[in-house]
Chain A
Amino acid sequence: MRWYGPSGYCNGVTDHRTVGLQYAVTSLLFLLVGFLLMLLMRWQLAWPGQPLPAWIVPLLGDANAPGGIMLPEFYNQLVAMHGTVMIFLAVVPMAAGAFGTLLVPRLIGAAGMALPRVSALAFWLFAMGGAVMVASFFVEGGAANSGWTAYPPLSILATKGQTWWLVGMICVSASATLGALAMITTIVRSRAPGVTLSRMSFFVWAQLVTALLLLLAFPALQAAAVFQLMDRTAGTSFFLPSGLVIGGIPLQDYSGGGSPLLWQHLFWFLAHPEVYVLVLPAMGIVSEVIVSNTRRPLWGYGLMVSAVLFLGGMSMLVWAHHMFLTGMGTTLSTFFQVTTMIVSIPSVAVVTALVLSLWGGSIRFPTAMLFALAFLPMFGLGGLTGLPLGLAASDITLHDTYYVVAHFHYLVAPGTMFALFAGIYHWFPAVTGRVLSERLGKWHFWLSFYFINNIFLPMFVVGLAGVNRRMYDAGLQFALAQPFQALQRHMTWSALALGVAQIPFLVALVLAYRAPASARKESDASFGEASPIAPDRTHPHPSAPDRTCSHPPAPDLAPWLLVAWMVMFFGSLLSGYVLLRAGNAEWPQQASGWGLAIGGAVLLAVAGLLVRPSRAGLLASAVPGAAVVVWLSTLHGAAFHAGRTPASHLEFASWFTLTGVLLTVVAIVSAATAGSAFGRSASSPARARGLRITWGALSLIWLVLLSAFSVA
């Protein structure tokens, strides 16, 4: 197994171990970037307005830190990019990308990922998106500075870096969608005989639910990113309300009527399930490490699987508990409080089952087990402190304070990150054939455990006192924050010490890299019985799967998953349109009529009917799709000539955006259909079936979407 650059992908290097390793190394690098951004933030919070260390100043430049003193604008960039890098570029790619791609095929007895090229493409999209985001530090005005949540209207009016952030986010989210598609298809279709659903390891279940969440929740952010890109580049007002005044000056030349709440709904529809995308793989890793080191099966396997399935579904119905302060109304608040309380139950069930799995075990305490055991109370602390935030009454006080920062960091930093370290120490020998030093590992664990708690426990105190987060002077302009400055300094020293605590891990990595690999490395045997990832330890399992025999990858699942993604994506766009239309007293203009809705849907349905597993059939099918593209493009042009531009009214902004995106998807499917005619799989019935499903779904989506514009 070795690292390959983009040329490797072009040459067809799509082995799951290579892709998994690429995810692991890249996400570790982004983790380092995110950590360094955090250290800069913490330095500023401890000594606001004072010069940074002399050796750092030249790296930041005069534009960001004139005279060595950090500007508030640069601090805002650090806040936004630390969150973005840590969540989207470090922890999720590590938890789902690296661990999932490396281990899932082995744990289900598959030869590899069911859609290897898709899986590899997902990695390169992630790497590209990450590079775009980090590169934005060097564009005019610096990186995104509106928080990782990118709330409008601030983000619409922000510097160029926000556009780079959006482009990077679209790449990263496309990567997540493709990776999820490959993962779900692999788990459902490529299991070895004997590895039934009820015998799959809990780790694999956790990865399956994670992939489902990525597939179904990310479309909302993709839709939101499209809207925001339109606001920033095409002059639309999806998120800009009427009568906006900035710095005492009314904003000119915009149609208004938009709603900042629209962004929050769509963003949190992804971002709350994203929490479970972070946590579920961590739970899976911890379960494997505990089973291996207690030498007994998991307690309550069925309960845990049921819990994560329920958790996955419910996590998509709790998003607006992040929005209690937006004035969205008591009806919605009540609904989301109830769902939030309900979703906490399965989380508690899983953690309880993991704790009970320790009971009566013959426990070993290698470094991996220490990290896994630490995950349990750390995650518990993060989860329990979240309950007051799920209730509107207490959230009104705690919202946007350091309490919130401490809460979610307990879930993600000493929670998920500790589980990821547990997984790294646990599977490192099986994956690389080399061993990480236990002595250095113990130092790594105990120092990390001590200092990370010294960062986040005091943060609860500061937050409960009411100190707001995201303030570049740590809130010192307000009297209530001043008594806590000593704690802020304590947290900063602890953060620096936490950085030092990672040195044993880095040294262990270097030592392992330089040590001669054992004879078992790079072979399937490294995942065999001697390996801690044998799949039959978590529950009664008659035999280990036959790793040489897997079901042939059945591509018929992928089109249906693609349809699910399309419904969520276009459904999110439609919900945006409905939200804006219902939230405006006057909506006088109609952008299109029933002719376009029905005519386009019929053409797309015809494209589906024409698909046959032959060159002629595929080419014939592409023609109606191309006709729709030409027709709609002409209409777009005509609308522009009539002065109905995206910037002129929200109705036209919605019409141009929704039909534009639909047009793009139709063009892609049309090109893919025509391209398939000249490929080796032109006569494949499965390929033809997949295209038929896609055209049929597009036809229905077209009908629903365009009908919305036709309803008076």
Chain B
Amino acid sequence: MPEGALMSEGARTGALVLIVVTAVVLTPLAAFGVRLWRRERDDQ
């Protein structure tokens, strides 16, 4: 594979890791937010 194409391949893999890490963090945060919102709604 040419060097430039390999660099693109690397960038794609790196970006994918970043997207996965973001999802790993955002998912529990969103779940926490929804749980908090529901609890407050039920308390009303």
Contact = CB atoms under 8 A, between A and B. Distances in A.
A327 B8 contact: yes
The listed residue with most A CB atoms (<10 A of its CB), out of B10, B14, B24, B37, is: B14
A259 B11 contact: yes
Interface string A239-271: 001100000000000000001011001100100
Interface residues of B, number: 30
Contacts of A269: 18
A638 interface: no
A564 interface: yes
Interface residues of A, number: 42
B14 A579 contact: yes
A552 interface: no
A630 interface: no
B8 A575 contact: no
Interface string B1-43: 1011011111111110111011011100110100011001101
A111 interface: no
B38 to A, nearest CB: 10
B12 A332 contact: yes
A198 B9 CA distance: 44
Contacts of B8: 327-329, 583
A61 B17 CA distance: 48
A572 B37 contact: no
Given A198-B40, A327-B8, A329-B11, A578 B17 contact: yes
B25 A197 contact: no
B11 A564 contact: no
Given A196-B44, A583-B6, A568 B13 contact: no
A90 interface: no
Nearest to A583: B10
Contacts, number: 110
A585 B18 contact: no
A580 interface: yes
B14 A262 contact: yes
A261 B17 contact: no
A331 interface: yes
Given A196-B41, A198-B41, A585-B1, A316 B14 contact: no
B37 A198 contact: yes
A317 B19 contact: yes
Given A188-B36, A196-B41, A585-B6, A212 B11 contact: no
The listed residue with most A CB atoms (<10 A of its CB), out of B1, B3, B18, B44, is: B18
A70 interface: no
Contacts of A698: none
Given A572-B21, A578-B17, A316 B26 contact: yes
A600 interface: no
A196 B26 CA distance: 22
A599 interface: no
A457 interface: no
Nearest to B26: A313
A197 B21 contact: no
Given A259-B10, A327-B4, A572 B18 contact: yes
A585 B10 CA distance: 10
B18 A582 contact: no
Contacts of B1: 585
Contacts of B10: 259, 261, 578-584
Nearest to A566: B25
Interface string A170-210: 00000000000000000010000000111000000000000
B25 to A, nearest CB: 5
A261 B25 CA distance: 24
A583 B11 contact: yes
Contacts of A197: 36-37, 40
A265 B18 contact: yes
A571 interface: yes
A221 interface: no
Contacts of A435: none
B41 to A, nearest CB: 7
Given A579-B10, A579-B14, A583-B6, A568 B25 contact: yes
B40 to A, nearest CB: 4
A560 B12 CA distance: 30
Contacts of A581: 10
A220 interface: yes
Contact of B29 (A220, A329, A564, A580): A564
A582 B16 CA distance: 12
A620 interface: no
A579 B11 contact: yes
A267 to B, nearest CB: 12
A81 interface: no
Contact of A574 (B11, B15, B17, B29): B17
Nearest to B5: A329
Interface string A541-579: 000000000000000000010001001100110111011
Contacts of B14: 262, 265, 575-576, 578-580, 582-583
13 contacts: A197-B40, A216-B25, A216-B26, A259-B11, A262-B11, A313-B26, A328-B12, A328-B15, A572-B18, A580-B10, A582-B9, A584-B6, A585-B3
Q: Which 4 A-B pairs have the closest CB atoms?
A: A583-B10, A579-B14, A571-B21, A575-B17
Given A265-B14, A328-B12, 18 more contacts: A196-B40, A197-B36, A198-B37, A262-B11, A262-B14, A313-B30, A316-B22, A320-B15, A327-B8, A329-B8, A568-B25, A576-B14, A579-B15, A582-B10, A582-B13, A583-B11, A583-B14, A584-B6
